[in-house]
Amino acid sequence: MKTASIVGAGLVGSLWAVYLTKAGYKVQLFERRPDIRKAEISAGKSINLALSTRGWKALDTVGVGDAVREIAIPMSGRIMHDLESNLTYQPYGKEGQAIYSVSRGGVNARMMDIAEATGQAEIFYNEKCVGTDLENGIVFLENSETGKKWEVKSDVVFASDGAFSAVRYNAMQKLDRFNYSQNYIEDGYREILLPANEDGSYKLDKNALHIWPRGRFMLIALPNEDGSFTCTLFMPFNGPNSFKTLTSKEAVDNFFQSTFPDFYTMMPNIADAWEDHPLSSLAIVRCYPWTHGKTALMGDAAHATVPFYGQGMNCGFEDCSVMWELMQKHNEDWPKVFEEYQQLRKPDGDGVQDLSLHNYYVMRDYVGDPKFLLQKKIEAHFSEKHPEKWLPLYSQVTFSHIRYSEAWKTGQKQDAIMKNVMAQFEDIENVWNSEAVENAILAELN
């Protein structure tokens, strides 16, 4: 019997368990937390996630996409809320394209159910990984409730235990020439649950991602199935307009009333709900190699990113579909699978991090900027006329399977071209959809 151990039964670990059972492995998953399906998890307990094309491919490849579609809400664009409560709608892609709001807990629970239903996967809870023998595929565990220590040996070990991976920390980081960096951004986030109306209806358009961009900080909202929205305020920890200044109910109340007036109207009791969710930090973790001996890192354990491109889960799921393709290609010769996996995926792990940081600045500083919006409008117009020559960066990342590393390179080139072209026309606002602008872009491309 082929055996596999997975450390971490979160989104990537539970999906990867489904893949491995499909390949005939007996799988054991070890999760540090209790069973989330038994815990009371309200919709607002963790950032809602945006599922896009790459994530759907990974789910559909193993036949579980439809189980997730049942709990997914399509968002076809973003709605910006300005200081005067005016709304501007920006579609995400072409007609019919959307990203999908899903609850982290909801998707995770479905994957766990499906993995267990195969009869080939078993999940152990409250099990802390205290060490790993990478070469021999042994995981050392300690039960946080009973204190029992034990070890499990298997043919292959996968660490999908998140940004602060125990496998990586206890074993990989002790290896000679293992590269590792961890960088926190200046901003943190706090979640707020915007409840449904009394009749259960939504207070905002449910088929959009809502953004209140305010320069150095922003509020976003994603719909939940029950009519509520999971909202997240991203802002600096310190300085003016920072979490440090919002320490009293009065300060929170005044801040929301003056900064997000339409949101405040919908949730006048914001100050009372302010501390329902903890203040959390955001980091980018880079490391290499991702594999050693019989062990491989997947998902955030390999390439944790910040959430501003909505690609963390999608990238982790794509790890699964790529690893699966390599299993077929190399006939489960794991040393070969692992070597090609890390060489192929490392540039894309870096790429998704570069993209996420880039979008952090875009969402924070530019989405309300007329020049930036005009640039996006010109790009969309040009792309519609010349789809073979130009696919906007957002569409490359969200609605295609182009490698993240390639999308990032192309995106930088496109940005330079657009800025160049826009600078050539003094009255660009009036001639943006003219033949002259179109020809100028074509000239830059050739």
Tokens for 391, please give them: 């696919």
How far apart are alpha carbons 427 and 377 in whole angstroms? 15
Tokens for 364, please give them: 């924070």
Local confidence pLDDT in tens for the 446 residues of the chain: 999 999 999 999 999 999 999 999 999 999 999 998 887 554 434 568 999 999 999 999 999 999 999 999 999 999 999 999 999 998 898 889 999 999 999 999 999 999 999 999 999 999 999 999 999 999 999 999 999 999 999 999 999 999 999 999 999 999 999 999 999 999 999 999 999 999 999 999 999 999 998 888 999 999 999 999 999 999 999 999 999 999 999 999 999 999 999 999 999 999 999 999 999 999 999 999 999 999 999 999 999 999 999 999 999 999 999 999 999 999 999 999 999 999 999 999 999 999 999 988 877 777 668 888 899 899 989 999 999 999 999 999 999 999 999 999 999 999 999 999 999 999 999 999 999 999 999 999 98
How far apart are alpha carbons 18 and 24 in whole angstroms? 10
Q: Do strands 87-91 and 77-81 pair parallel, antiparallel, or not at all (unpaired)? A: antiparallel
pTM over 0.85: yes
- pLDDT tens-digit map of 225-260: 999 999 999 999 999 999 999 999 999 999 999 999
Tokens for 138, please give them: 């042994």
Alpha carbon separation from 41 to 46, 112, 311 (Å, rounded): 9, 15, 23
Q: Are 166 and 172 in contact (CB under 8 A)?
A: no
Residue 10 sits at the vertex; the CA angle it makes with 328 and 316, to the nearest 5 degrees, is 50
Residue located via tokens 């499990």: 152
Q: Does residue 289 have a cis bond before it (omega within 30 degrees)? A: yes
- pLDDT tens-digit map of 58-106: 999 999 999 999 999 999 999 999 999 999 998 898 889 999 999 999 9
